[in-house]
Amino acid sequence: MIKEQSLPNINNFEKQPVEAEGFDMEEKNRDYELPLEKEKESSMEIMKQMAEYYNKLKELKGKSGTEKINKIKNFIGGSKNQQAKINRVKAFLSLEQDPDMGDRIMHLGERLKEKPKLADKVFAEYAANVDSAEKNADELAKLYNEIFFEKQIDRNKAKMAMLKNAGNLLYWANEGLFSCEEQEKEDMINDLILQLRRQEKAQKAILNDLKSLAATLNKKYKEINDLWRKKDWDEEIELQAHFLEQDGFSKKEIESHIEAMDEPIENYIASIEEKDEIDKQKKYDSERIKKIINKLENYYRENLYLDSILKLSDFAKIWQVDESQAKKILEDKRLYQEERYKPFVGKFKILLKFQQSFEQKIDQFIYGDGMPELPEGVKQEAADLIFQKYQEIIDQTKITKIQLKALFKNKKKVSDEEIDQATEIIIKKADNLLHNFAQRFSQDEKIDEKEIINELENYKANLILTASVWKAADKEGINFEDLEDVSSERKTAGEITEHGKTMKLVNEIYDRETSKKQPFIPGGNIRSAISQYAAEASPEERERAGEILEMINIYSKQYAHKPKLREKLIQGFIDKLNTAGDKTAIYSFKKGGHVLAFDRFDDLGKGKKYFGSFNVLPALTDSAIGSALLRASLDKEAEQSAEIEADCEPEKLISSYYIEKAGFVVKKIIPDYGDAGITAFNISRKKENSKYYYRDYKAEDLKKEHENNFSNNKFNKDDQYIILKFESNDGKPIENEQQIKEILDQAGDLINSNGYVMTRYIFSKDRRAVYCALEREGS
C-alpha cells in the first residue's frame, strides 16, 4: 500500500525523486513494456496527475476527502507489481471524471482482490486502451486540423469518448462479477480481457476508416473539380481555334497560339479565391465546398447582365449591337454556362451531403451525445441521419454479438471467430446497402432521402428481429451452425410489392407454371425462371419476385397432399400481397438469401390480428427453425395486439405446438373450412389464456388426470373441466383428419355448442393418440 506522505506534492513536484516510495521506476516485472525513458516520462506524468487529484480531495471538507483517498490507496495497493500499480492509476484517472464510474473501478478491484494476477491483467489491458486513446486523440486532432479551417477539437473530450466503450466493459464486468458463481469469475475476466483488446483494435480501425474516407472524399472532390475545369478549358481552346481559323491563321500558327494561352480569366476568377486555396491547403471541408458550388452557380444566375462588370449599354457598344441584341448574347451565354456547369453542381451537392455526414461522423466519434452545435440547417440534413442510422446498426450488432455468446456458451464452445463471422455478415449487408445508395447518388439518380433512412431503420428492426429469432432458436434447441448466414425480416405487403412489376412478374410466372399441370418450380430453379420471364424487370423487382415465388414454392410443397386447399391458400396469399398494403405483415426466415420459412399477420382492427401462411420448407419440418421464427414473430406482434387469431389443421403436429407452446386455445372447430372439404381449428391467443386451469399442467400429469377421472372419456356436459383421449381409428400414426374423426365430432360439439374451449392438445410419442383438455369459457 502506498503511504500518504510518499505521494508527490504538486507544489514542489520538481523536487520529488522519480523513485517515490511505492513507484519503483526500475522494476522489470511489467505486463507490457515501453521504452524505459518513455515509461519513466509517462509514469512521472501519471504521478503528477495523481498528486493533483489527491490535493483536490484534501481540500474537501470533513472526512469525505480522506475516506476517498484511503479507498484509492487500497485500490492501487491491490497490486504488488509496480507497472500494475501504474495501470490501476491510469484506469482510475481515466474514469474519475464520472464519480459513479470511479467508484465502480474500485469495486471491480475489490471483487478481484482474491485473484490479483487476473486483476493486473484486466487493468493492464484497460491501461493499454488509455494509452491508445491518447495516441488516437492526437491522430484525430491532426485529421481534424487537416479537414477544418476554424473548428478546434477538444482533445481530452475526444479521448474520453474513445474510452467510453472500454469503460462500459468494466462496468458490465463489475455488475457480472457481483452476481456470477465463483467458478465463473475466471472465464468472465478472461472474456473481459479479450473484449478490451478488441476494443483497442476497434478504435484504431475506426480512426483508420475515417482517415481513409477523408482521403477518398478529397480525391473525389478533386476529380470532379478538375473535370469541370478541363471541360471549360477545352471548350475555350476550341472556341479560340475556331475564331483564328476564320481569320485565316494556319494550323501551325493556331497551335502555337494555343500553347501560349493563359488560363481563361473567367476560370481564374472562379478558382483563385477558393479552389486554389483549397489545392494549396489540401482542406476540403463542407464550408469550402459550398463556396465552390456558389461560384459555379453564379455563372448561370438569373439576369446575369444586370450585375455585369460592364453596363449593358457599354457592352453593346463594344460588340457593336443594340442593347436588346447584347441582352440576348449575355442570356445565350448564361444558358450555355448553365448547360456546362449545372451537372457538376449537382454532383458537388450530392457529395457535399456525404461530406457533411462524414464531418458529423467525426464529431459523433469524438463527442458522442455531447456533439458540438453544428451550423444551422446541417443537423436536419437527411444525409446526416444516414450515418446515424448506420451507427445504430453497428451498436445493435455489438449487442447481438453479446447475446449470441451468452446464448450458446453453455451448450457448445463457440469461438470468438465464429461469433465475428456471423455478425460480420450483418454489418456487410448494411455496408452494401449504403454503397448501393452512394452509387445511385453518384449517377445522378433521383432518390428520396427518406427511402435510405427508412431502409436502414428497417434493417435495424430486422436485425433486432433476427436476434429474437436466435433467442427463440436457443429455446428450441438449434445449434449455432444452423444459424450462420441466417437473417429474419418483417415487411408489409406494400413494401414487398412496392416495385411496379413485382406482382405482375409473380402472377405471370405462377399462371404459366400452374397451367403446365405439374409441380411448381423447384426452389433452386426460381431465380433462373425469373431471368427467362423478366428481361425488363429491375434488380429490385426480380429480388422481390424471387422471394414471393420461394414462398409460393414452400406453400406448394406443404400442401401437395391437399390440392384444392393448396390452390385456395396460395391464391389468398397472392391476393393479400396485391391488396393489403400496410395492413399485412410478412415475416421471413432466410439462409444465404433464400426463404426457409415465413408467416403472415393481417390487421383486423380493434387490436385484433389474424395469423396465417405459416410454412416451412418440408425438408426442415423436423428442425426447430420454423418454430423459432414462429415464436419470435408471434411475440413481436403480440406486443401491439390484444388478440391473435389463426386456423390450423387438427392432424398436424404444428397444431399441438400452437396450443402447447405458442399460447393459443381452440375457440371453434370449423367443418368444410374454406369450402375445401377439410376441418380446421380456429385458435386464439390472448394474455388471459395463461390463466386457464390446465395450462400449467405437465403433459404426464394431464395424462394421469385422464386415467384417474375421465377414463374411457366419461364426463358430464356440465363439468367445468374435461380431459379426453382419442386414438387413431386405424391404429396408425395420425396423419389425416379421418383418423381422428371422433375427436372432431365430440370436441366440436362441446366447443361449438356448449361453451368450452380447448386449452391443451398433446400427441402421444408414437402419434397414435391425442389428448385434449377442455374448459368452460370463463371458468
Q: Give the pLDDT confidence of 152-169 residue by residue, as tens digits.
A: 666 777 777 777 767 767
Neighbours of 23 (CB within 10 A): 23
CA dist., res. 581 & res. 598, Å (int):
18
Percent of the chain with pLDDT over 90: 10
DSSP assigned state of 96? T
pLDDT of res. 508? 80
| Closest-CA residue to 599 (of 637, 544, 560) | 637
Per-residue pLDDT at 316 exceeds 80: no
Cβ neighbours for 240, distance < 8 A, ≥ 6 positions apart: 257, 258, 261
**Bridge partners for 595 per DSSP:** 590
Please give the distance of CA 419 from its chain centroid, rounded to a whole number.
Answer: 16
Pick from 21-30, 130-139, 508-517, 676-685: least confident = 21-30
pLDDT-based confidence at residue 86 (cuts at 50, 70, 90): confident
| Cβ-contact 441, 447 below 8 angstroms | yes
pLDDT-based confidence at residue 584 (cuts at 50, 70, 90): very high
CA dist., res. 95 & res. 145, Å (int):
27
Residue with cell string 372439404 = 677
Residue with cell string 478472461 = 190
pLDDT of res. 98? 56
pLDDT-based confidence at residue 503 (cuts at 50, 70, 90): confident
Between 709 and 398, where is the model more confident?
Answer: 709
Percent of the chain with pLDDT over 70: 59
Mean of the pLDDT values across residues 185-198?
77
Per-residue pLDDT at 659 exceeds 90: yes
pLDDT-based confidence at residue 556 (cuts at 50, 70, 90): confident
Specify the amino acid at residue 79.
S
Quickly list DSSP for 479-544.
Answer: -GGGGTTEEEEEEEHHHHT-STTHHHHHHHHHHHHHTTTSPPPPGGGHHHHHHHH-TT--HHHHHH
Pick from 219-223, 239-243, 421-425, 645-649: least confident = 421-425
Considering the entire predicted model, what is its pTM?
A: 0.49
Phi and psi, residue 392, nearest 5°: -60, -40
Per-residue pLDDT at 437 exceeds 50: yes
CA dist., res. 70 & res. 91, Å (int):
17
CA dist., res. 778 & res. 757, Å (int):
9
pLDDT of res. 181? 62
CA dist., res. 68 & res. 76, Å (int):
12
pLDDT of res. 36? 39
Quickly list DSSP for 646-658.
Answer: EEE-TTSHHHHHH
- As separate numbers, helices (DSSP H) first and strands (DSSP E) second, the chain gives 26, 10
**Bridge partners for 603 per DSSP:** 609
Per-residue pLDDT at 16 exceeds 50: no
Q: Please provide the average confidence, as pLDDT, over all residues in the chain.
A: 71
Between 525 and 596, where is the model more confident?
Answer: 596
Between 459 and 596, where is the model more confident?
Answer: 596
pLDDT-based confidence at residue 380 (cuts at 50, 70, 90): very low
531-to-318, 497, 535, 542, 594 alpha-carbon distances in Å: 65, 18, 6, 8, 16
pLDDT of res. 327? 77
C-alpha cell of residue 473: 432458436
Per-residue pLDDT at 774 exceeds 80: yes
309-to-303, 313, 314, 377, 660 alpha-carbon distances in Å: 13, 12, 10, 33, 86
Per-residue pLDDT at 279 exceeds 60: no
Give the model confidence (pLDDT) of 209-226 as tens digits.
777 777 777 677 677 767
Residue with cell string 408471434 = 634
Q: Which of 205-209, 273-277, 512-516, 542-546 has the highest mean pLDDT?
A: 542-546
Domain ranges, ordered by start, for the chain? 4-211, 381-484, 485-641, 643-779
List the strands of the sheet with 608-616, edge to edge: 486-492, 584-591, 594-605, 608-616, 643-648, 680-685, 664-670, 756-763, 769-776, 721-727
Cβ neighbours for 172, distance < 8 A, ≥ 6 positions apart: none
pLDDT of res. 269? 36
Mode of pairing for the β-strands spanning 608-616 and 643-648: parallel
For the chain, helix, strand, coil in percent to 5 are 65, 10, 25
pLDDT of res. 37? 44
pLDDT-based confidence at residue 678 (cuts at 50, 70, 90): confident
pLDDT of res. 264? 45
CATH topology of domain 485-641: Aminopeptidase (3.40.630)
Pick from 501-510, 614-623, 715-724, 754-763: least confident = 614-623
pLDDT-based confidence at residue 545 (cuts at 50, 70, 90): confident
CA dist., res. 17 & res. 688, Å (int):
74
Per-residue pLDDT at 271 exceeds 50: no
**Bridge partners for 721 per DSSP:** 775
C-alpha cell of residue 480: 449455432
Specify the amino acid at residue 729.
N
Please give the distance of CA 341 from its chain centroid, rounded to a whole number.
Answer: 38
| Cβ-contact 215, 222 below 8 angstroms | no
Mean of the pLDDT values across residues 255-273?
54
pLDDT-based confidence at residue 656 (cuts at 50, 70, 90): very high
CA dist., res. 296 & res. 348, Å (int):
10
Between 660 and 35, where is the model more confident?
Answer: 660
Q: Which of 142-156, 382-396, 572-586, 614-628 has the highest mean pLDDT?
A: 572-586
Per-residue pLDDT at 666 exceeds 80: yes
pLDDT of res. 668? 94
Specify the amino acid at residue 659.
I
pLDDT-based confidence at residue 594 (cuts at 50, 70, 90): confident
Per-residue pLDDT at 494 exceeds 50: yes
Pick from 435-444, 552-561, 570-579: least confident = 435-444
DSSP assigned state of 38? H
Neighbours of 669 (CB within 10 A): 21
CA dist., res. 174 & res. 171, Å (int):
5
Mean of the pLDDT values across residues 379-389?
50
